Amino acid sequence: MIGAGTNYVVATVKSWNVAAYRQRRLSLPGSWTLISRPEDLSVENLKALAPRYVFFPHWSWRVPMEIVDGFDCVCFHMTDVPYGRGGSPLQNLILRGHRNTVLSALRMVRELDAGPVYMKRPLDLAGTAQEIYQRATGIVFDMIEEITRTEPAPQPQQGTPVVFERRTPEQSELPHAGTPEQICDFIRMLDADTYPPAYLHWGKFRLEFDRAKQDGEYVIARVRIAQRGSDP
């Protein structure tokens, strides 16, 4: 059992994770520090804090190897690893037709998403990407609390790895073919704060889509239309 004086760090950049951290930290054991800027995630700062764990609910930069090697770093990946290691897990899952997944809490190692697993918890993939990320946040902080209270031993991943490729903003262009369900899924998987939305180029205009719902043979969505400036 962990003592009240134990230190922990949460490193995250997404607003929904920051809000959850501020809501939950007072009920968690030990002392907690939030890091939300890459310049603050340094070996020197972590050595001064001496954390038992450094948790990464969502981090947009590569973590230096000296931190991965020197501290117990825990990340949260939205697939049943070793299936789905790699980038853009939510979007890749939805593109492959998955309706459910698991959140995997991993001990970070030098190879991406290849570390041993502390625990896995189910996650429903219904709704917009924003709704899914917010749903995942509650589960992640439940996992953080369980890890800090019980310190489970992480277990090696079992099975053949399947690696996802990180998607680029250019891949957010709506496909020219597909069923209404597939078009709806494409729009909703990109519908989150700070993510590039589904779009189409039409002449001098860029059409961006969100809030997609399937209604029988139709997809109903909101569209924002902006001029593309000097683009061809």
How many separate domains does the chain show? 2
Pair 58, 15: CB distance under 8 Å: no
Q: Per-residue pLDDT tens for 73-117?
A: 999 999 999 999 999 999 999 999 999 999 999 999 999 999 999
What is the rounded distance in angstroms from the CA atom of residue 71 to the CA atom of residue 53?
A: 7
Claim to verify: residue 139 and residue 34 sit in the same structural domain: yes
User: pTM value?
Assistant: 0.91
Both 160 and 173 in one domain: the answer is no
* pLDDT tens column, 35-84: 999 999 999 999 999 999 999 998 888 899 999 999 999 999 999 999 99
Structural domain for 198, as ranges: 169-227
Distance in angstroms between the alpha carbons of the first and the last residue of the chain = 63
Joined tokens for residue 90:
């939510």
Q: Alpha-carbon torsion 115, 119, 120, 121, what sign? A: negative
Phi/psi of residue 6, nearest 5 degrees? -70, 140
pLDDT the model gives residue 61: 87
In terms of residues, how long is the chain? 232
Residue 174 and residue 75 share a domain: no
pLDDT the model gives residue 116: 98
CATH number of the domain to which 127 belongs: 3.40.50.170
CA distance 44 to 84: 33
Given pLDDT bands bounded at 50, 70 and 90, which one contains residue 5?
A: low
